[in-house]
Amino acid sequence: MNGALPTTIIVAGLALAGYALLLTALNRRMGAILLGALGVLEILLLVLVGMIVARLIGGGHPADLAVLIGYLIGIPLIPVAAAFWGALERSRWGPAVAAVAGLVAAVLMVRLHQIWPVIHV
Amino acid sequence: MSEPKALPEPSATQPTSTRTGPGRLLVAIYGLFALAASSRAGVQIATKFHHAPVAYVLSAFAGVVYIIATVTLTAGSPTARRIAVVSCSVELVGVLAVGTWSVLDPASFPDATVWSDYGIGYGFVPLVLPVFGLLWLRYWAKRDKTGASAA
Per-residue pLDDT of chain A (121 residues; tens, 9 = 90+): 778 999 999 999 999 999 999 999 999 999 999 999 999 999 999 999 999 999 999 998 998 898 899 999 999 999 999 999 999 998 999 999 999 999 999 999 999 999 999 988 7
Dist CA B36 CA B124 (whole Å): 15
Tell me which amino acid residue B16 is: T
Q: Which of B83, B44, B79, B85 is nearest to B63 (CA)?
A: B44
Strands (E), A33-89: none
| B120 near A CB under 8 A | no
Q: Are A105 and A48 in contact (CB under 8 A)?
A: no
B50 backbone dihedrals φ, ψ, rounded to 5°: -75, -10
- CB spacing of B28 vs A82 below 8 angstroms: yes
Q: Are A46 and A104 in contact (CB under 8 A)?
A: no
pLDDT at residue B92, rounded to an integer: 97
Measured between beta carbons, which residues in chain B are less than 8 angstroms from residue A83?
none
Tell me which amino acid residue B82 is: R
Q: What is the pTM of this model?
A: 0.89
Helix (H) or strand (E) holding A16: helix A4-25
The Cα of A114 is separated from the nearest Cα of chain B by a number of Å equal to: 13
| B35 near A CB under 8 A | yes
**What single DSSP character describes residue A2?**
-
For chain B, the DSSP string reads -PPPPPPPPHHHHS-SSTTSTHHHHHHHHHHHHHHHHHHHHHHHHHHHGGGSHHHHHHHHHHHHHHHHHHHHHHH--HHHHHHHHHHHHHHHHHHHHHHHHHHH-GGG-SS--TTGGGGGGGTTHHHHHHHHHHHHHHHHHHHHHHHHHH-
The Cα of B1 is separated from the nearest Cα of chain A by a number of Å equal to: 31
Dist CA A59 CA A47 (whole Å): 19
Measured between beta carbons, which residues in chain A are less than 8 angstroms from residue B7?
none
Dist CA A115 CA A98 (whole Å): 25
Q: Are A85 and A21 in contact (CB under 8 A)?
A: no
pLDDT at residue A46, rounded to an integer: 98
pLDDT at residue B6, rounded to an integer: 54
Nearest CA in chain A to B31: A81
Q: B145 CB contacts (<8 Å, ≥6 apart)?
A: none
pLDDT at residue B14, rounded to an integer: 82
Measured between beta carbons, which residues in chain A are less than 8 angstroms from residue B29?
100
- CB spacing of B27 vs A85 below 8 angstroms: yes
The Cα of B110 is separated from the nearest Cα of chain A by a number of Å equal to: 16
Which regions in chain B score pLDDT beneath 50?
1, 9-11, 150-151
| B28 near A CB under 8 A | yes
pLDDT at residue B11, rounded to an integer: 47
Dist CA B52 CA B47 (whole Å): 11
3-state SS, residue A53: helix
- ipTM of the shown complex: 0.91
Strands (E), chain A: none
Dist CA A91 CA A61 (whole Å): 45
The Cα of B15 is separated from the nearest Cα of chain A by a number of Å equal to: 9
Q: Which of A97, A107, A110, A112 is the best substitution to test chain B (most B C-beta atoms within 10 A)?
A: A97
